[in-house]
Structure 1
Amino acid sequence: MSTETVAVVVVTFNRADLLTGMLDGLAALEHRPDAVVVVDNHSTDHTPQVLADEQARARLPLQVIRTEENLGGAGGFHLGLRTAYEQGWDRAWLMDDDVVPAPDCLTVLMAQDEDCLTSVREDSHGRLCEKAATRFDLTHPWAIKPKTGMVEDFGSRAAMPERVEVENVAFEGFMVRRSVVAEIGLPDPTYFIFYDDVDFAIRARRSGRRIWAVRDAVLVRQLDFDQQHDLAGWKGYYMYRNLFAVHLRYGENPAVRLKPLLIVLAVLLLAPVRGGRAEAGNVIRAMRAAWGMRSLPPSSVD
């Protein structure tokens, strides 16, 4: 049994009812966390009341950080992980407000002597839905979508090996040791949403760490996945911008680093056919902004 300490870091925004279920799951864990840091991203629903009620119940070693504005998931995890690091906890376990861990999930993870781990998600019907990439291809320019394999491709939890090496993660059940943070730094808050977890995983792997998805660390998603965002809307802008930034930062050859320009060109050429004038504007703005994100984030936590 691990004697290391662990802090849970949760980011939440306007999903109070889901947060309630997640907090119930944390309270039911067999392995009690040493701290639970919840970053409330300036929610406008009854999230503050849910957190106040939870503090009054004293089921968890709960710390609440309410931001003055919505920092996005990336900014929230940057702040939450910084807080856990500065408080000296040995490990941090990151998650959103829409997942519920099985009672033994933290026990299983803490028994693994690894620097980087991730839980394996399933949906509310018990079906495997872990989208962490077994292959994230930044080598071949023709891989339009760099994620070319996922844990869920095994089909079921029973078909998985006990551990599966992954090349990216979601900040839904990802666990990291403080030594990793000390070396590579914090999640990059400039991503706002999308790809901040991918960026962190790439940096961890480039530092020599391996990331393991642990089959028996069960995390249940309360919502179905919905990754089909409107590419002409504000989420589409961030999806394009951050995908481009990852390629510009970490592409392993000039052809891969040029791929964002080819995607921009394809979107512009297809815009008259698809009626995507708004998407065309999004992709141009995204390319300009991503160009300014080429530099790596600071490796220092200070």
Structure 2
Amino acid sequence: MSPHEARETVAVVVVTYNRADLLDRMLDGLAALTTAPDVVLVVDNASTDHTPQVLAARTEPWLRVTRTAENLGGAGGFSLGVRQAYDGGWDRIWLMDDDVVPAPDCLDVLLAQDEDCLMAVREDRSGRLCEKAATRFDLTHPWAVKPKTAMVETDFGTRAAMPERVELENVAFEGFMCRRGVVTRIGLPDPSYFIFYDDVDFAVRARRAGFRIWAVRDAVLVRQLDFDQQHDLAGWKGFYMYRNLFAVHFRYGENALVRAKPWLVALAVVVLSPLRGGRAEARNVLRALRAARSMRALPPTTID
């Protein structure tokens, strides 16, 4: 796009649930962007804290709020928000959670890239690189128990060590941007994931449709919370982590052995449950395996 052409329009999609103060800080960051987005679509997932009051107090003309009747999860919220952005006709759709703050020039840096799928690069509040998007997501080898075998943070260590762009194999919906043509081609984020892996699923579908995904070094996004990947695998989040990991393998495993890996993981968890996790985790993983089998069909690629 030449300097004489109008820039592409941008819809920001934000999903929030019970993190009103973080959301307010993130919206301050959007308001401070040197190029304003055309619209910010906030999906409030039926928050029970003071989120409605925070949103009501905002005065930005680009803010539009949808409050759901029930908590749709991150996956359901992003699916709804992306549909709204797509139906609104905006050229680019920029997804983010409520706990990140973009640098003032973040949107300008992304818009300068003539690519269909982009990712802003996250750092923590101390300025340390904490971008965990995968540079290798292995659905080919059955011995890769965790398919994310390499990521930006471990590949480079610091932002300064990164090249200007790094190709990704999965993303997080914290700073991911795509053109509307990607949604036309592959459909919406799949709301059935509820939480976890909906962003991975979308990235896998995009890559299999021929789109390349680039992390842009100089597009800075600051994460307000520390990463906590150690969820209770015996609790409700553990169910979704297991179920959705299994669903990704059933859907996208590149050979029969990879597609069989969920069965082996479930067996290992059950056998080892007396030593770790106990009966609750064993029940979780078996329930997750049954539920994941019902998610094997790919989501629709058409948008009604």
* TM-score when normalising by structure 2: 0.97
Q: Percent identical across equivalent pairs?
A: 78
Alignment of 1:5-154 (within 5 A): 5-54=9-58, 57=59, 59-153=60-154, 154=156
Q: 1:102 to 1:275 in 2, by over 3 A?
A: closer
Deviations 1:99-136 (A, max 9, x none): 00000000000110000000000000000000000000
Letter in 2 for 1:20: D
* TM-score when normalising by structure 1: 0.98
Moved over 6 A (4+): none
TM-fit CA distance, 1:60: 4.3
Paired residues, number: 299
Contiguous gaps of at least 5 residues in structure 1: none
Deviations 1:30-61 (A, max 9, x none): 1110000000000000000100101xx2x340
**Residue aligning to 1:214:** 216
8 Å contact from structure 1 (residues 94, 175) kept in 2 = yes
The answer as to 2:303 corresponding to 1:301 is yes
Measure the CA separation in 2 of the matches of 1:63 and 1:179.
23
TM-fit CA distance, 1:279: 0.1
The SS at the match of 2:247 is helix
8 Å contact from structure 1 (residues 36, 60) kept in 2 = no
8 Å contact from structure 1 (residues 41, 70) kept in 2 = yes
TM-fit CA distance, 1:272: 1.9
The SS at the match of 1:272 is coil
The answer as to 2:276 corresponding to 1:274 is yes
Q: 1:275 to 1:251 in 2, by over 3 A?
A: closer
Alignment of 1:197-212 (within 5 A): 197-212=199-214
Deviations 1:220-269 (A, max 9, x none): 00000001000000000000000000000000000000000000000011
The SS at the match of 2:219 is strand
Contiguous gaps of at least 5 residues in structure 2: none
The SS at the match of 1:7 is strand
**Residue aligning to 2:226:** 224
Q: 1:275 to 1:37 in 2, by over 3 A?
A: closer
TM-fit CA distance, 1:23: 0.4
